Structure 1
Amino acid sequence: MHILLVNDDGPPNKRLSPYVRPLVDELHAAGHQVSVAIPAASRSWIGKAHIIEASLTASFVHPDSFRDDGSWDEHFTPSAESADLRDWVVIQNGTPASCAQLGLYSLFTDRPPIDIVISGPNHGRNASTIYNLSSGTVGGALEAVFCGQRGIAISFGSKDPQPGDVIGAAARHAVRVVDHLLGHWDERVELYNINVPMRIDVETQPILYTRTLPYYWSRGCLYAEVEPQTRSEMADSSLMNGVHKEQREEAAQAGVTGVNGVNGVEKQVRKKRHFKWSADLSDMKKRLQESEEGTDAHTVLNGSTSVTALRANFWHVPGLEGPLHLE
């Protein structure tokens, strides 16, 4: 099989993307041809997004040239043993979805047609509706479907550092699951979402078909408010609601306590507010730990591999059809 592999964690990186090279090596060992197209930086939580205002630059990089921090040696010369390894493609401003698009249509035209797109392996689980609909890993597989190709999303279920033998076991196990699905693909399925628990005995643990755990945010927990960090940000506070500080002072001398920048009507002036990504997922983790048997979350958290068969659509609610009559 010719496999296109994309991900959302970016180039091999000891901290952020420790799983991609072991999986690619195992796919090669199983006899597959693998073409790799990945973002130049982490693109987690980006779903199936394309960054339309950014131009994309594809760099062809020998897989042995990557450093532990995800950078690479542009002057790298491969050894005789690795000279036959094909370059990976690293895409500046890339997302999993754009990597899938370019990988399928533009980057590997000198190679045989691609048979399947694998997205991952993600550094951590992708179980429950919020993760699946937010995940760049699942987004890469979704993009494959919209390009007329089958997709498989793979997630290795831990962000904690893992020893090499555990990563190796997870990679071997994932390839066996992939090979089985390729040989027994259900025609109703457009993509599979696989979650592999990180444990040394993963290859002897059950593999279960699962359903996706429904989950909704119970509170705002992804962003935290922060104070301005730069002089320019602090200076910006002199411009409030379109009114400069000098104008406000003049208005105050005239007996007007606040203006809105349009017609001088009194209005409380409000400063800018700053927020940054600061995910507090404690409520979600508790819900996942309490999830029902048969769901993806329950399965992977209890040490088994979850395989969730999906179709790439938001399906309509049956019965709501025909004219809508307003009262």
Structure 2
Amino acid sequence: MHILVVNDDGPPNERVSPYVRPLVDELQSAGHLISVAIPAASRSWIGKAHLIEAELTAHLVHPDSFRPDGSWDSTYKPDPTTEDGAAGPQSDWVVIQNGTPASCTQLGLHNLFTDLPPIDLVISGPNHGRNASTIYNLSSGTVGGALEAVFCGKRGIAISFGSKDPQTDSVIAAAARLAVKLVGHLWRNWDERVELYNINIPMREDVEGQPVLYTRTLPYYWSRGCLYAETDRRKEEARRVLNGATNGVNGVHKETNGVNGVNGVNGVNGVNGAHHGEPEAEAEAGTVSKQRHFKWSADLSDMKKRLQESEEGTDAHTVLNGSTSVTALRANFWHVPGLEGPIDLEL
């Protein structure tokens, strides 16, 4: 079948996106036609977002041209004698500057691969780490890419490889083989009540010999605000200059997860259309800043404790105990039954 692969971790990268190339290779080895559309930078925790103010640029990139840091050699030319007939545009991946998982799904389904047969299935992932529990699922760009497929009239499968720790090639290969086998099974036996599946695969050498279980999503709510920390903006500006955060890659301005814009969008008039003055300018004008600055600084210790204590049968308990979880989902926020009709405001 023709499968569109999207993700939220961006191009192949030893540190943040080590799993996408092995999965694509395994899907192709199984005989599937694979089209790939991925964001140019990590888009974790972005859900099913679209950046409506941003211009999206699609770069055709040969998969063998990626460097270990996720950048690519734009001058790379494949050797046609080693391509086994796959040389040409069909072998290129599409890397989308200012892309999100949802926009990659939209463009992949409707704009980018119109010369190929219709896409049958969208696979989003494999995520670098677990997506188990309501917080992760509703925040995850990986799940968001699969959700977008549903709203485009396609079946979606979100796949997460359940560890951010470095893994051996053999462990990654085992997870990829199991993922492809599981995708084939779900496709052949798709329950018509299901709109998307969320899969979590533990990273272990013997994963193919471990149980694969249907699960339910672990409910989780924040016990405290723990995603952001207040920062000293002057120190942050100095750090950015020191680290050379504004240097370009391949002639394209480097997206740095929120540096120089929002989620890698550069020059979109600040945040929510509001232009932000620099502290130095405020000082020269003799004004007192009324701004406070925060940055992503996730403290997930409470969440991790709750996941460790999760009940048997949940996605979190299953993957943390070495089995693969498969959660069948509907792509909606369903109403509470029984709350219907007029509301009497006098009561």
TM-score, L = length of structure 1: 0.89
Is 1:273 equivalent to 2:292 in the alignment?
A: yes
296, 304, 310: which is aligned to 2:329? Answer: 310
**Alpha-carbon offset, residue 271 of structure 1:** 3.5
Question: Partner of 1:264 in structure 2?
Answer: none
Is the contact made by 2:132 and 2:315 (CA closer than 8 Å) also made in structure 1? yes
Task: Give the CA RMSD over aligned residues.
Answer: 1.5
Secondary structure, in 3 states, of the residue corresponding to 2:38?
strand
Matches within 5 A, 1:155-194: 155-194=160-199
Question: Partner of 2:340 in structure 1?
Answer: 321
**Whole-angstrom distance in 2 between the partners of 1:201 and 1:66:** 29
Is the contact made by 2:23 and 2:126 (CA closer than 8 Å) also made in structure 1? yes
* Residues 233-290 of structure 1, C-alpha deviations (whole Å, 9 max, x = no match): 3335549xxxx637xxxxxxxxxxxxxxxxxxxxxx7732111100000000000000
Is the contact made by 1:6 and 1:96 (CA closer than 8 Å) also made in structure 2? yes
**Whole-angstrom distance in 2 between the partners of 1:123 and 1:168:** 14
**Whole-angstrom distance in 2 between the partners of 1:322 and 1:270:** 50
226, 234, 253: which is aligned to 2:279? Answer: 234
122, 126, 130: which is aligned to 1:121? Answer: 126
**Whole-angstrom distance in 2 between the partners of 1:175 and 1:321:** 44
**Whole-angstrom distance in 2 between the partners of 1:228 and 1:10:** 28
205, 208, 213: which is aligned to 1:203? Answer: 208
Is the contact made by 1:169 and 1:202 (CA closer than 8 Å) also made in structure 2? yes
**Structure 1: gaps (5+ residues):** 247-268
**Alpha-carbon offset, residue 228 of structure 1:** 1.8
Is 1:15 equivalent to 2:15 in the alignment?
A: yes
Question: Partner of 2:66 in structure 1?
Answer: 66
**Whole-angstrom distance in 1 between the partners of 2:163 and 2:319:** 10
Matched letter for residue 81 of structure 1: T
**Structure 2: gaps (5+ residues):** 239-276
Q: Between 40-49 and 71-80, report the one with greater CA deviation.
A: 71-80
How many residues are aligned here? 301
**Alpha-carbon offset, residue 208 of structure 1:** 0.3
Question: Partner of 2:109 in structure 1?
Answer: 104
152, 156, 162: which is aligned to 2:157? Answer: 152
**Alpha-carbon offset, residue 84 of structure 1:** 1.2
Asked which structure has the greater CA Rg, the reply is 1
Matches within 5 A, 1:28-67: 28-67=28-67
Matched letter for residue 151 of structure 2: F
**Whole-angstrom distance in 1 between the partners of 2:289 and 2:68:** 45
Secondary structure, in 3 states, of the residue corresponding to 1:70?
coil
**Whole-angstrom distance in 2 between the partners of 1:235 and 1:321:** 56
**Whole-angstrom distance in 1 between the partners of 2:290 and 2:25:** 53
Question: Partner of 2:320 in structure 1?
Answer: 301
Q: Which runs of 4+ in 1 moved over 4 A?
A: 236-239
The percentage of counterpart residues that share the same residue type is 78
Is 1:84 equivalent to 2:86 in the alignment?
A: yes
**Alpha-carbon offset, residue 175 of structure 1:** 0.4
Secondary structure, in 3 states, of the residue corresponding to 2:112?
coil
Is the contact made by 2:279 and 2:289 (CA closer than 8 Å) also made in structure 1? no
Matched letter for residue 24 of structure 1: V
**Alpha-carbon offset, residue 77 of structure 1:** 1.2
Is the contact made by 1:237 and 1:272 (CA closer than 8 Å) also made in structure 2? no
Secondary structure, in 3 states, of the residue corresponding to 2:328?
strand
Secondary structure, in 3 states, of the residue corresponding to 1:46?
coil
Is the contact made by 2:147 and 2:156 (CA closer than 8 Å) also made in structure 1? yes
Structure-2 change in CA distance of 1:270 and 1:300 (3 Å): same
Is 1:290 equivalent to 2:309 in the alignment?
A: yes
**Whole-angstrom distance in 2 between the partners of 1:210 and 1:199:** 20
Is the contact made by 1:58 and 1:90 (CA closer than 8 Å) also made in structure 2? yes
* Residues 102-125 of structure 1, C-alpha deviations (whole Å, 9 max, x = no match): 000000001000000000000000
Is the contact made by 2:6 and 2:124 (CA closer than 8 Å) also made in structure 1? yes
Question: Partner of 2:251 in structure 1?
Answer: none
Is the contact made by 1:48 and 1:96 (CA closer than 8 Å) also made in structure 2? yes
**Whole-angstrom distance in 1 between the partners of 2:163 and 2:54:** 32
Secondary structure, in 3 states, of the residue corresponding to 1:181?
helix
Structure-2 change in CA distance of 1:134 and 1:326 (3 Å): same
Is the contact made by 1:156 and 1:195 (CA closer than 8 Å) also made in structure 2? yes
* Residues 129-167 of structure 1, C-alpha deviations (whole Å, 9 max, x = no match): 000000000000000000000000000000000000000
**Whole-angstrom distance in 1 between the partners of 2:225 and 2:283:** 29
Q: Between 84-93 and 215-224, report the one with greater CA deviation.
A: 84-93
Matched letter for residue 104 of structure 2: C
